[in-house]
Structure 1
Amino acid sequence: MKRIFFIAFLLINMTAFAQTEKTGNTPKKLVVDFFEAFHAQDTIKLKSFALDGIKMQSVSMDAEGNTKLSSDDYSKFLKSIASIPADASFEEKLHEFRVEENGLLATVTTPYLFYFNENFSHCGVNSFQLVKFNGEWKITSLIDTRTKKNCD
């Protein structure tokens, strides 16, 4: 009898895990979907991935070698994506995904190379902070680095 309960327990857990994977309800999937919407300039989808009041920051070095931290509103980011001319091309090529998930919190980092009109612009690393609300991952913070050095 204990064996039957144990086997049933395993089957229920495997089914629940498979459903989560099938629906794509993972931190990595959210970031992949984010970049698909980003490249498609789909600001409605981009807005749906983020929590209201998302914190956006970027880290870079100025001409004197000082670290510069800038912050921006997500709404300004969405407007900038929507304003890219149709004849312009842009691509953020991601190298890998590093995912740390712990219950309701996840961090996804993605090293990248960014191209505008097929010309290299800059490289860096994106770091997404995600929180799971009612079973759905949302971006709460996004910080990136930007440089033109050591991009290989």
Structure 2
Amino acid sequence: MKRLILLLTIFSISHAAFSQEKETSNKKEIKQILTTFMDCLIKKDSVKFYSLFHNEPTVWVGVFKEKTQQNRLSKDSTKKGNFTSTYQKFFRSIFDTGAYEEKFYNLNIDEDGSIASATFDYSYWKDKKKINWGKESWGLVKIDGHWKIMSIIFSVEFESINPEPIKK
């Protein structure tokens, strides 16, 4: 009986350790996708950037935060509070003159091995000047052993309208 309990205990511990290792591996892979995404903006590498996304239509939605939207409305009362795009259009927009970078922090990843969500704070920079900041959320799926981005939704606050609070 003692041997059976010992074997069951060892099995339980090794199973729990394996499960945590797999979760850590998935989170590490997802963190690498975020790092690659940011690196592709700096290097303007469209081939690698496009490979991060699922080949089906993806969701790309930005929503203006209240202070930025109020400022936009003061100049044009017909301005919508959100916009949609595609990752291809976004990437093409950074090919004008200038250096672009996105920084992320306060990353939280929730995944079950097949689907994942990654939420984080971000700031978007052009020529070393912060343009906007907000919260970003990605939906990811694991297809044929590879994580792919299915959706990106984010809030937008213009730094010139409402500077990002200093993080402690």
TM > 0.5: yes
Name the aligned partner's letter for residue 119 of structure 1.
K
Greater Rg over alpha carbons, structure: 2
Residue 31 of structure 2 is matched in structure 1 by 28
SS at match of 1:63: helix
d(CA) in 1 for partners of 2:21 and 2:145?
Answer: 15
Percent of aligned pairs sharing the same letter: 21
- Residues 90 and 116, structure 1, Cα contact 8 Å, conserved in 2: yes
Q: CA deviation at 1:138?
A: 0.7
2:101 to 65, 84, 91: 91
d(CA) in 1 for partners of 2:105 and 2:27?
Answer: 20
- Unaligned residue ranges in structure 1 (runs of 5+): none
d(CA) in 1 for partners of 2:27 and 2:92?
Answer: 27
Structure 1 length as normaliser, TM-score? 0.77
SS at match of 2:164: coil
The structure carrying a bigger strand percent of its residues is 1
Q: Where has structure 1 moved over 4 Å in runs of 4 or more?
A: 1-6, 8-25
- Residues 135 and 154, structure 2, Cα contact 8 Å, conserved in 1: yes
2:90 to 77, 100, 107: 77
Change (3 A) 1:36 1:6: farther
d(CA) in 1 for partners of 2:88 and 2:155?
Answer: 20
Q: CA deviation at 1:12?
A: 7.1
Q: CA deviation at 1:63?
A: 1.9
Moved more, 28-37 or 107-116: 28-37
CA RMSD of aligned residues (A): 2.7
The structure carrying a bigger helix percent of its residues is 2
Residue 54 of structure 1 is matched in structure 2 by 58
d(CA) in 1 for partners of 2:109 and 2:129?
Answer: 29
